[in-house]
Amino acid sequence: MQLSPDETVVFTLGGFSVNATIAGTWAIMVLLTGVSALITRNLRADVPPSRWRTALEVIVTVINGQIAEITQRRDSRVLYFAGTLFLFIITANLLTVVPGFEPPTASLSTTAALALSVLIAVPLFGIGSRGLGGYLKTYVEPSPIMLPFNIIGEVSRGVSLAIRLYGNIMSGAVIAAILLGVAPFFFPVVMDMLGLLTGVIQAYIFAILATVYIASATAEPPPSTTRKDAP
């Protein structure tokens, strides 16, 4: 039994083995981009919005509203980052219902890559908002003694993000596989439904946490020491 899609080589491209994680990611990228381009290709103010366009507007507006609630301001760069995180993760998690598709989020490499992206993006957003000096100053607040703890907190934040997402998705897939062997008719369906719910929640939590980290790094007042954490 393979626990990670990294171990499944789908095809080889120029001597480079493309595993299921990367192939699944590309598929999701093609799906998201294709659908978006298809729906928004004829976007004019004088054309009444179609059903699909309205659905996309609802999704984007809800994501933007959530980000605005957390950051208390509208920043399109945060929308691009956190919105893409959410759409990628939720699409990957929902595609677990497709037979034969291995979600890239079930790979620790993917979740680690996403967590690393958040870890890199948070300082970049903080530096872009406060400047380099202003951002580095947050590491020695409220006291320089807190510097190592703040650094450890930043790293553990990314690690927890990666492990949480990977654990939830991978465990759901593993449990479904085990139950498929034990009771092949009823329980896998229930577990798949539970996995879908968990995947949606995890996508939401991952994106929200990334937004919270970015918001805490870019907020004008000194960042709060109490941080919202996931269950």
Partner 1 sequence: MSIDWITVAAQIANFLVLIWLLKRFLYRPILDGIAAREAEIAARMGEAAEIRRESEARAAEHEAEIAKLRASRADILHEARQAAEAERAAVLAETRDMLARARVEREAERAEEARRFTAELNREGAEAILALARKAVTDLADETLERRIVAHAVAQLARSRDEVAAAAGDSSEAVVLTRDPLPEEATARLREGLAPILPGVTLRFEIDPTLSPGLSLRVGGAQVGWTVADYFDGLEALLEDRIGRPGGATKSDAA
Six token digits for residue 77: 């760069």
Preceding peptide of 5 cis, ω within 30°:
no
Q: Are 202 and 106 in contact (CB under 8 A)?
A: no
**Binding test (CB under 8 A) with partner 1, winner from 97, 113, 180, 200:** 113
How many amino acids of this chain bind partner 1 (CB under 8 A)?
Answer: 44
10 counts as binding partner 1 under rule CB under 8 A: no
Comparison of 61 and 72: residue with beta carbon closer to partner 1: 61
Q: How many CB atoms lie within 10 A of CB 25?
A: 20
Q: Nearest to residue 3, comparing CAs of 171, 143, 158, 147?
A: 171
Q: In the window 163-182, what residues touch partner 1 (CB under 8 A)?
A: 170
Cβ-based nearer residue to partner 1, 3 or 136: 3
| Member of 50, 72, 76, 156 binding partner 1 (CB under 8 A) | 76
Q: Which is nearer to partner 1, 75 or 217 (CB)?
A: 75
- Contacts with partner 1, 89-108, as mask; x by CB under 8 A: ---------------x--xx
Is the Cβ–Cβ distance between 20 and 8 less than 8 Å?
yes
Among 26, 131, 137, 156, binds partner 1 (CB under 8 A): 26
182-212: burial string, b at 16+ Cβ within 10 Å, e else? eeeeebbeebbeebbebbeebbebbbbbbbb
Q: What is the DSSP letter of 48?
A: P
Q: Which stretch binds partner 1 (CB under 8 A): 29-37, 93-101, 151-159, 199-207?
A: 29-37
Distance CA 35, CA 41 (A): 10
Q: Is 4 in the site for partner 1 (CB under 8 A)?
A: yes
C-alpha dihedral (157, 158, 163, 166), degrees to nearest 10? 140
CB nearer partner 1, residue 29 or residue 140: 29
**Does residue 61 bind partner 1 (CB under 8 A)?**
yes
16 three-class SS:
strand
Q: Is 129 in the site for partner 1 (CB under 8 A)?
A: no
Task: Measure the CA angle with vertex 228, ends 155 and 68; round to 5°.
Answer: 105
Which is closer to partner 1, CB of 6 or CB of 209? 6
Residues binding partner 1 (CB under 8 A): 3-4, 6, 19, 21-22, 25-26, 28-29, 32-33, 36-37, 40, 43, 45, 49, 53, 56-57, 60-61, 64, 76, 79-81, 83-85, 87-88, 104, 107-110, 112-114, 116-117, 170
